[in-house]
Amino acid sequence: MARTSELSRKTSETDIVVRLDLDGTGRTEIATGVGFFDHMLNAFGRHGLFDLNIRAVGDLHIDAHHTVEDVGIVLGQTLGSALDVKRGISRFGQASVPMDEALVEAVVDLSGRPFVAWGVSFERPMLGGMDTQLIEEFFRALAGNGLFNLHVRQLAGTNAHHVAEATFKAVARALKMAVAIEPRAAGEIPSTKGVI
């Protein structure tokens, strides 16, 4: 059964279409109008082995906030849709990713309950045309709309680009592990409740 989804969202601030294949090979086509964000989303798809197509048009004449947050909203919803009832998945995932002096750990539980514990900081306010505060906003929107627990901790790092890239890669790799099909689960829901 294909674990794919395509969703869109159009508001007075943004117009976004996201297509996701959880069992892809990491092929991406990203166009948000925010160069650094595109770079991070490409890394996210590649390291999660997700085929990911994102097209976003937003009110960038104001700033990138609405675009980045709304992409997180739609990507989270698309992830949830592609997972359906989460039958046979591993559910939990964890990854630590270094990038030179930076080291970031991400842990996820596809629990059906949104929660984010954020422990990442940036020594620069901007990366290209993107406010570094928006990185947390993106992941809060992603987990909130994907209905999963996300813990992210920066264990080392001073270079803001390295910290940001390690963060996107760590979350992607943790999600890759969590969405993976567990052969021994025989298609069961990974919860003692019988539902997630």
168 domain-assigned: yes
Q: Which amino acid is at 139?
A: F
Q: How many domains does the chain have?
A: 1
129 domain-assigned: yes
Q: What is the dihedral of CA 71, 73, 75, 79, to 10 degrees?
A: 180
Helix (H, G, I), strand (E, B) or coil at 133: helix
Is the dihedral angle over the CA atoms 131, 135, 141, 144 positive or is it negative? negative
Helix (H, G, I), strand (E, B) or coil at 33: coil
pTM higher than the cut 0.85: yes
Structure tokens at 120: 């990442």
18 domain-assigned: yes
* CA–CA dist 153, 118 (Å, integer): 7
148 domain-assigned: yes
Structure tokens at 142: 């992603």
Q: Are 22 and 4 spatial neighbours (Cβ–Cβ below 8 Å)? A: yes
Give residue 16's domain range: 4-185
Q: Are strands 4-10 and 14-21 parallel, antiparallel or unpaired?
A: antiparallel
pLDDT digits (tens, 9 = 90+) for 17-28: 999 999 999 999
pLDDT digits (tens, 9 = 90+) for 162-187: 999 999 999 999 999 999 999 988 88
Span 27-40, mean pLDDT?
A: 98
- Tally of CA atoms within 13 A in the half-sphere of 100 that contains its CB: 9
In sequence order, the β-bridge partners of residue 127 are 130
* CA–CA dist 54, 187 (Å, integer): 30
For residue 12, pLDDT beyond 80:
yes
What pLDDT band is residue 101 in, cutting at 50, 70 and 90?
very high
Is the dihedral angle over the CA atoms 156, 160, 164, 165 positive or is it negative? negative
106 by Cβ neighbours in 10 Å (0-12 / 13-18 / 19+) ranks as: buried
191 domain-assigned: no
* CA–CA dist 108, 48 (Å, integer): 13
CATH number for the domain spanning 82: value is 3.30.230.40
DSSP structure string for 68-81: HHHHHHHHHHHHHH
194 domain-assigned: no
pLDDT digits (tens, 9 = 90+) for 48-85: 999 999 999 999 999 999 999 999 999 999 999 999 98
Span 25-32, mean pLDDT?
A: 98
Is the dihedral angle over the CA atoms 118, 121, 127, 130 positive or is it negative? positive
196 domain-assigned: no
192 domain-assigned: no
